[in-house]
Chain A
């Protein structure tokens, strides 16, 4: 009997011992099946690739740029060191950026951050030049403002050109093109997301071209340059990921200030005057007309000028063409985005590359969805996706985009890059005072 008792007690304590640990859940399996080599990943692109946010390029934005988040996740599947041209800690605010200063009657008021900047001087046009990057060879080649057409233009890296490209170049290299600068990096894997600015620069100037950064790149030119760029990056069967261009007219920069709001401001401003009216006048390429809800105004629209100067009220003072993307221009821009995306899809197909359809993804964000409990939409501030400039991503937005890229890379190349935990990242910071 004693023996049975002993067996019983040892079984009892044995059960307790075995079970007292918690579950392990090691479902995630790192497989060595990847057909892509992540050892030297380089990221080519514009402000989105650089981590530009809140109207500026600054250290904490650079640190959460989506390629940096992807590279961190690649560490467990053979990714190498990933170096970015970070601003130094004592110049962490880089170009300066916008912060949310207050909410006045629920309306956001921003203020510029002007300390700890990395401005080393001004160019002959009185535009800032930034402290040159000094350090090891970089992997994140994102340059704010970079366009596909300008990637092939010499001189863009000169002090008269793009200061974000200029800060990456040695003094003797300023005539090199962005294309020439990036394709010689002996990469094993690349992400390439250029083309947004080829249409966005035009759209943000009310579809008034005329300068190198506001012109609308011709679709045939886009196709030729895109194919040439990707062909160069994929020599020796190197793999990569490319992405479509989002519907630039659905970002908060264009959707926050609406015609009904401006019409209300007019009603307010003209009440009791001889000019009493209830809509704004806009200058279009075909003449002056009353605005419609399909005409898009900018986030930066100077509302106060309606009342102060009669802007948009007096037929002699309509809202100028470069301050509104009217509905015909919206159609033109959307058609061009579609042409670009057709090119991008064809290239992905032809070179057998992973393709991230950011255009389709952000189309969902128009109506909004919940991502791990975080509302995610293209609403300004409350949508959590876009930063205070209404164009660039918040850290949450970057994390979501990083996961989109990771999913497509994993799918295309049978890889097992772990996903990013989006909930660790923030949206727009709200001020802690009234």
Chain B
């Protein structure tokens, strides 16, 4: 199985690569269109700011490439947000795979923003194994995707939001499976089995 990790200006590519190594999975980190198109699975990582990252993807013609992919694609954190239609982070038009708009957390009772730390997956469906229900994963984000028909897992912080999603061949997680211990490893393996 060939895994392509999309190479761009994201902050967590190294961590994603190390997580794949711990699972003894072969991968390449690449921004070559052909190599990405020919991979069996594609991982789209992401740590950073939406508008700068979207500009980088456009400049490197990765935006149309990602939209056109037919194999399973996994967006992580900012990668998941960029798969949505629009982000409130600097009013950024995104890739539009998911119809949802990415919103800023607004504290109700002095909750801290960013939502940083370990929180649980309170509902699980679709592609994620059911034994991940109520397990903890690591989050760092200030923007969230509201619940929708594409939600595959939900988590509560300030309100309930989508911690995992899927539409067709596009899979996405808001948390960092590469930093979420054995639970995160199960999530990566679940994606690799799609």
Whether both chains belong to one complex is answered with no
Which residues of B does A touch, CB under 8 Å?
none
